[in-house]
Amino acid sequence: MSAVSLSIEDLGFAVLPGVFSSSEMQQLVDDLEHSALRRSKAGVRHALKHPAVAALAEEPRLLSIAREILGEKVRPFRATLFDKSPQANWLVVWHQDTALPLRERRDIPGWGPWSVKDGVAYAHAPANVLGGVLALRIHLDDSTTQNGPLRVLPATHKQGVVSDDAIEKISARISPVDCTVAQGGVLVMKPLLIHASSKSQLEMPRRVLHIEYAEPSIAGENLELAVA
């Protein structure tokens, strides 16, 4: 088992520096800035619709990371651009990522509550399903201690899906880690890892492309992941 696999298994995250060059990240920024994707103040949801993002998600450097952790059948199914800047500065409280995009709503025990985002059905998934999901966060800019980096509570992915009250108690007893990553680096994380981020204290942007991978059959026979 590699050091990355061990870190994901034990801590729920790993930082891989220098996966992409600065020129590759700048080209992606340029492509996104000229795209027709609908943007919110915080970035772009359902970014796999963009050809440049879809191509990046299938890039061998990323696929090899995801397949090392989850197996050869994994595919990208969702991408989100987080664009933190002086014009759109926010904080995110401690939480887990538990909602998955699905092709259609079916009321199945263990799934829900349901919602709809930009026309896509979402349901909060059970822990056994979320255990088969991996997020790769590609840093288009440097993420520093001063521009609102992702903060994580190590090893909390092992606790399953927990309530907001439980998250608050856990965050009071586990020391957080700031995930600072230089431009072109990739943060690998499990969705059940409890994480947060603070507001940026700088004028510089902090753009991160968050791509999620899983086996297409992960939701089971009665539910199918939507590509978003």
Give pLDDT tens digits for 61-111.
999 999 999 999 999 999 999 988 767 777 889 999 999 999 999 999 999
Q: 73, exposed or middle or buried, with CB in 10 Å at 0-12, 13-18, 19+?
A: exposed
**In this model, does residue 181 exceed pLDDT 90?**
yes
Distance CA 134, CA 211 (A): 8
Phi, psi (degrees; rounded to nearest 5) at 187: -100, 125
pLDDT at 40: 64
Distance CA 211, CA 93 (A): 21
Q: Where is pLDDT greater, at 52 or 203?
A: 52
- What count of other Cβ atoms lies within 10 Å of the Cβ of residue 93? 11
CATH class (in words) of the domain with range 3-214: mainly beta
**In this model, does residue 1 exceed pLDDT 80?**
no
pLDDT at 91: 80
pTM of the model: 0.95
pLDDT at 33: 84
Tens digits of residue pLDDT in 83-92 = 887 677 778 8
pLDDT at 38: 67
With bands split at pLDDT 50, 70 and 90, how would you rate the model's confidence at 20?
very high
pLDDT at 144: 94
Tens digits of residue pLDDT in 130-172 = 999 999 999 999 999 999 899 999 999 999 999 999 999 999 9
Nearest partner of 207 among 30, 4, 7, 13, judged by Cα: 30
**In this model, does residue 129 exceed pLDDT 70?**
yes
Listed by start position, the domains of the chain span 3-214
pLDDT at 102: 97
CB 38 within 8 A of CB 44: yes
Tens digits of residue pLDDT in 44-53 = 899 999 999 9
Q: Give CA 127 to chain center in angstroms.
A: 16
